[in-house]
Structure 1
Amino acid sequence: MANHRLNQIQNHLVSLDIDPTRVDGHVIIITGAARGIGRSAAILLAQKGAKVAINDLDSIKAQETAQEIRKLGGIAEAFPGNMLDETFPAELVAGVLTKWGKINCLINNAGFCHDSAIHKMDDARFDVIMKIHNYAPFRLLRALSPHWMDPSVRDMPKCIINVSSTSGLHGAMGQINYATAKAGIVGLTKTVAAEWGRYNVRANAVAYGWIDTRITQPPTESKVLSLDGQEIKVGIPMNAKKWRDVSDIPLSRPGTADEAARVMLFLASPLSSYVSGTCVECTGGRFM
């Protein structure tokens, strides 16, 4: 019955000449949206009609991304802030609700690596990765709960897209903290899908493989993340030869941020209206 109804809806959209990838009027929060996959997703979703809340630790870059979207004719507002701050997730949700009155989609994209071999990993390095990849998404969801559980928005489209990684699905040398956190986000996603389906909320994750962004390029002295007075080098070293070897990627190349963003569009749009509780792998075929 569900598939039959979905086919009816899709056929109706086609008959009306409506693009099922459109998200017109949807309010979408994207964390870590000033660079890489988050930035590409923000631009793409705005082009598809969304009002995009651009969150990033880097206030200048967040403003630049919002301005770029507006120059292209889209609607976007920068909401810079540190997702590691315990109070900021609730402030972000409140700010977006004040601005636009609703939230349709949350994309938990903010994150970084802080790698080390297991025997050299200290508690602080492990803890910060758990906080950005697990605690921050949880706090945003908790802040959203009064809005999304309100019976008046029962039929409003609502979805969550959480960013995982092949490190979380398959493990990765030197990434005991990151792999643990990215595995955790899959469990979080499935729990939300099970618990909030009654409120018409869909929850899905995307496990990315090698996507060519700042986080996967070789680290340099100029590419650092300044966080609470600590400088964290961003990137994966060139000597990670096994990871950089494309011979086990059937498409024989890394993906681009724009390609990664299209998976988010699929999960945010009516195209995936009956998809929930799953983890989509965007890997070029690696690990299949």
Structure 2
Amino acid sequence: MAERIQKLASHLNYPTGMLARQTAIITGSGHGIGAECARLFANEGARVVVCDVDIAKSNEVAKSVNNVCPDRAISFPGDITDQNYFPTLVKQAADFGSGKIHIIDGVIHKMLDEQWDTILAVHSTASFRLIKHAAPYFRVKDGEKRVIVNVCSTSGTHGNVGQFGVRANTVAFAHINTRLTRAKENGDFIVTPEGERVPLGIPVAQLEARKGVSSESQYKDIPLGRPGTATEGAGSILAVCSPLFAYVSGQTIEVTGGRNM
């Protein structure tokens, strides 16, 4: 299925791409779905700003994009919990986009106070700050489409006693952008100033518990019977940002293979 989507994506950009002459800021794009978004968006003609806290990963993704689509990507790594990061990120993106920004795509347990603060900083405050600084580029009246897409785990819509910080973000931003929920990626985490690793993806204990368990048992709550791929997640985001979704606004769209139907 993933190969079919990749083949389809390679044909979507005829003749110039659905996102031609648009500029996209993609946070968390150093790996996984974010990285696939950068590749798919560039393939559709967009100029993409790759953002990740991991400098090496951010640079590598931008390089891989430019190897296929020359001059379509720049890397601007940084910490989204740092309030000074977004003004420079937005300026860099606007300069790269010839003064315009069209798309903002934000990809993204037992808890101490500091961990709670970090979760809110990543899932809520960072989104607020990015939108705040990019707002002037979205208020212009030039007839061009602008899109803000936030991506979170399904805990944001269906609740999870250990991840109510994610749920708080979903409620906070439900009415100002289109949101996609997806299954969590393996191993996602952020480090607090004190060096504490706060899981953002599937907890290690859950991953260990799945070892040796058949696929049928692991994914029996997913009608399609398998987990989604990063390319499939990115493809759904591309669709939302494309002209095909021009009349869709303020919606929560679940990309779950039918889970929680």
% identity of equivalent residues: 32
Q: CA RMSD in A?
A: 2.3
Which residue in the other structure is 2:3 paired with?
none
Which residue in the other structure is 1:166 paired with?
154
Mapping for residues 249-264 of structure 1, pairs under 5 Å: 249-264=222-237
1:43 to 39, 54, 60: 39
C-alpha distance 189-94 of structure 1, shift in aligned 2 (>3 A) = farther
Which residue in the other structure is 2:182 paired with?
208
Task: Decide which moves more: 88-97 or 268-277.
Answer: 88-97
CA displacement at 1:36 relative to structure 2: 0.7
1:57 to 53, 57, 64: 53
Letter in 2 for 1:232: R
Which residue in the other structure is 2:112 paired with?
122
Residues 66-91 of structure 1 show CA distances to partners (whole Å, capped at 9, x for unaligned) of: 00001112410001111000121122
Q: 5+ unaligned residues in a row in structure 2: which ranges? A: 1-12, 211-216
CA displacement at 1:226 relative to structure 2: 4.2
Which residue in the other structure is 2:83 paired with?
86
C-alpha distance 26-252 of structure 1, shift in aligned 2 (>3 A) = same
Looking at CA atoms only, which structure, 1 or 2, has the larger radius of gyration?
Answer: 1
> d(CA) in 1 for partners of 2:69 and 2:94?
22
> d(CA) in 2 for partners of 1:21 and 1:273?
15
Q: Tell me the number of residue pairs that the alignment of Structure 1 and Structure 2 aligns.
A: 238
What's the secondary structure of 1:230's corresponding residue? coil
Letter in 1 for 2:151: V
Matched, 1:287 2:254: no
Which residue in the other structure is 1:265 paired with?
238
> d(CA) in 2 for partners of 1:163 and 1:20?
27
> d(CA) in 2 for partners of 1:52 and 1:207?
22
What's the secondary structure of 1:168's corresponding residue? helix
Mapping for residues 156-195 of structure 1, pairs under 5 Å: 156-181=144-169, 183-184=170-171, 187-190=172-175, 192=176
- Confirm or deny: 8 A CA contact 1:21 1:266 kept in the other structure: no
TM-score normalised according to structure 1 size: 0.76
Q: 5+ unaligned residues in a row in structure 1: which ranges? A: 1-16, 193-202, 216-223
Letter in 1 for 2:86: P
C-alpha distance 56-50 of structure 1, shift in aligned 2 (>3 A) = same
- Confirm or deny: 8 A CA contact 1:20 1:270 kept in the other structure: no
What's the secondary structure of 1:85's corresponding residue? coil
Letter in 1 for 2:173: L
C-alpha distance 93-84 of structure 1, shift in aligned 2 (>3 A) = same
Residues 165-188 of structure 1 show CA distances to partners (whole Å, capped at 9, x for unaligned) of: 21011112432333333x33xx41
Matched, 1:96 2:70: no
What's the secondary structure of 2:104's corresponding residue? strand
What's the secondary structure of 1:107's corresponding residue? strand
Letter in 2 for 1:105: I
What's the secondary structure of 1:248's corresponding residue? coil
C-alpha distance 139-237 of structure 1, shift in aligned 2 (>3 A) = same
> d(CA) in 2 for partners of 1:176 and 1:32?
21
- Confirm or deny: 8 A CA contact 1:213 1:257 kept in the other structure: no
C-alpha distance 226-62 of structure 1, shift in aligned 2 (>3 A) = same
1:237 to 195, 204, 208: 204
C-alpha distance 263-73 of structure 1, shift in aligned 2 (>3 A) = same
